[in-house]
Amino acid sequence: MIYRFIIISDEVDNFMREIQIDADATFLEFHKAIQKSCGYEDGEMTSFTICENGWEKCQEITLEEMDTESDQDSYVMADTHIEDLIEEEKQHLIYTFDPLADRCFFIELAEIITGKSLKTPKVSRQMGDAPQQTLDFDELMARNPIDTSSDFDDDDMFGDGIDDEEIGLEGLEISDGNPYE
């Protein structure tokens, strides 16, 4: 069975990739096909997120094992087959290719082609140039400026100072010597 995915970007209007991949392929193979189709270098911490009810994030598939102590199952790209988590046409995924700037592609399973298989993924259509793989610091700050205009006053956080009479030190052993001797 072959899955035909459509990949778009909210950053570049005319960007589109159509990738066909065997349903039995792993998410790692899909990741590599996306990277190659965009001319990206491997090395960034990328992830897929399975979405439900439109684009509501549900299950993440990471490039590397993440030590999470959550109740949710942990999926790694190399060990997870696409057909294990994607089962129906129009299902959505998000592929995060620049996690520091939270930049991603939106993916839809456009078609399931039964009775056929592919040994390697193939790009069946492509339009436009892919967005830059990562942003440098200046571009990142321009997209997400830090709000330095605050009405917050240091006195709001620390009060008017510390009143020595409010602190009760009775019963505490305080010495001027080295406690590790």
pLDDT at 178: 60
Q: Could you tell me the domains of the chain?
A: 2-141 (3.10.290.30)
Q: How sure is the predictor about 65, in pLDDT bands with cuts at 50, 70 and 90?
A: confident
pLDDT at 135: 81
Global pTM reads 0.74
pLDDT at 150: 54
With CA atoms as reference, report the closest residue to 121 among 27, 44, 29, 40. 29
pLDDT in tens, 124-168: 999 999 999 988 766 656 666 666 555 555 555 555 555 555 555
Helix (H, G, I), strand (E, B) or coil at 7: strand
pLDDT at 54: 80
Q: Distance between CA 57 and CA 37 in Å, rounded?
A: 24
Name the strand (E) or helix (H) holding 96: strand 92-98
Q: Distance between CA 52 and CA 38 in Å, rounded?
A: 26
- Name the more confident of 80 and 146: 80
Q: Distance between CA 40 and CA 15 in Å, rounded?
A: 14
pLDDT in tens, 95-123: 999 998 889 999 999 999 999 999 999 99
Count CB-CB contacts under 10 A for residue 154.
7
Q: Distance between CA 14 and CA 16 in Å, rounded?
A: 6
For the purposes of burial, counting CB atoms within 10 Å of the CB of 25, is it exposed (0-12), middle (13-18) or buried (19 or more)?
A: buried
pLDDT in tens, 2-60: 999 999 999 999 999 999 999 999 999 999 999 999 999 988 889 999 999 889 999 99
pLDDT at 23: 97
pLDDT at 44: 83
Count CB-CB contacts under 10 A for residue 108.
16
